[in-house]
Chains A and B, each alone.
Chain A
Amino acid sequence: MNLGEKMTIKTNLKNILLVIFATLILSACSTAKKSADIEGDVYTGKETVEYLAAGVPDRVFFATNKSSLTSASRATLRKQANFLRKNKSLNVTIEGHADERGTREYNLALGERRANAARDYLMTYGISGKRISVISYGKEKPVNPKSSPVAWSQNRRSVTVKVN
Chain B
Amino acid sequence: MRILTFIFIINLFVINKSHSLIEIDITRGNLDPLPIAVSPLHVDIKSEQYKDLKTKDLGNKISEIIEVNFKNTGLFNPLKKDAFVQKPDIAHLKPRFEDWRLIKAQALVTGKLIIKDEKLKVEFRLWDLTAAKEMTALAFTTTPSNWRRVAHIISDKIYERLTGEEGYFDTRIIYVAESGPKNQRVKKLAIMDQDGFNTKYLTLGNELVLTPRFNPTNQMVTYMSYFRNMPRVYLLDIETGTQDIVGNFPGMTFAPRFSPDGKKIIMSFAKDGNSDIYTMNLESRLVERITDHSSIDTSPSFSPDGKFIAFNSDRSGLQQIYVMRSDGSNVKRITFGKGIYGTPVWSPRGDLIAFTKMHKGRFYIGVMRTDGKGERLLTENYYQEAPSWSPNGRVLVFYRETKAGEKGEGFSAKLWSIDITGYNERKLSTKTDASDPSWSSLLSK
Contacts and interface: CB of A to CB of B under 8 A. Distances in A.
B445 interface: no
Nearest to A136: B252
B314 A112 contact: no
Contact of A146 (B181, B312, B405, B436): B405
Given A65-B318, A120-B273, A105 B403 contact: no
A101 interface: yes
A90 B89 CA distance: 79
A136 B319 contact: no
A120 B435 CA distance: 34
Given A112-B275, A145-B183, A136 B411 contact: no
A69 interface: no
A100 B404 CA distance: 11
A50 to B, nearest CB: 15
Interface string B322-363: 000000000000000000001100000000000010100100
B222 interface: no
Contacts of A146: 404-408
Interface string A98-142: 001111111011101101110010000000000000011100111
A46 B343 CA distance: 34
Given A65-B318, A142-B183, A146-B404, A103 B385 contact: yes
Interface string B368-387: 00000000000000010110
B273 A105 contact: no
Contacts of B436: 104
A56 interface: no
Given A105-B298, A108-B254, A140 B275 contact: no
B275 A104 contact: no
A101 B296 contact: no
B401 A100 contact: yes
B400 to A, nearest CB: 13
Contacts of A140: 185, 208, 210
Contacts of B202: none
B240 interface: no
B106 interface: no
A101 B361 CA distance: 8
Contacts of B275: 109, 112-113
Given A103-B343, A103-B385, A140-B185, A109 B298 contact: yes
Given A112-B273, A120-B273, A146-B408, A103 B342 contact: yes
Contacts of A52: none
Contacts of B210: 104, 108, 140
Nearest to A103: B342
A112 B356 contact: no
B406 A108 contact: no
A147 interface: yes
Contacts of A105: 211, 254-255, 268, 298-299, 342-343
Contacts of B49: none
Contacts of B229: 135
A113 B411 contact: no
A138 B406 CA distance: 21
B192 interface: no
A144 B270 CA distance: 26
A106 B342 contact: yes
A67 interface: yes
Contact of A116 (B272, B299, B403, B435): B272
A65 B358 CA distance: 12
A110 B296 contact: yes
A38 interface: no
Nearest to A149: B361
B296 A136 contact: no
A149 to B, nearest CB: 10
B411 A109 contact: no
A143 interface: yes
B148 interface: no
Contacts of A147: 403-405, 411
Contact of A101 (B383, B405, B406): B383
Contacts of B133: none
Contacts of A100: 383, 401
A109 B254 contact: yes
Contacts of B358: 101-103
B283 to A, nearest CB: 26
B231 interface: yes
A115 to B, nearest CB: 8
Contacts of A142: 182-183
B299 A106 contact: yes
Nearest to B176: A104
Which of A67, A115, A117, A142 has the largest number of chain B CB atoms within 10 A?
A: A142
A141 B255 contact: no
Nearest to B435: A104
Contacts of B435: 104
A108 B273 CA distance: 11
B429 interface: no
B403 A109 contact: no
Given A109-B270, A136-B270, A145-B408, 5 more contacts: A106-B312, A112-B275, A113-B270, A113-B275, A135-B229
13 contacts: A103-B385, A104-B386, A105-B255, A105-B298, A106-B299, A106-B314, A109-B268, A113-B273, A137-B208, A140-B208, A146-B404, A146-B406, A147-B405
**4 A-B pairs with least C-beta separation:** A145-B408, A116-B273, A103-B342, A145-B182
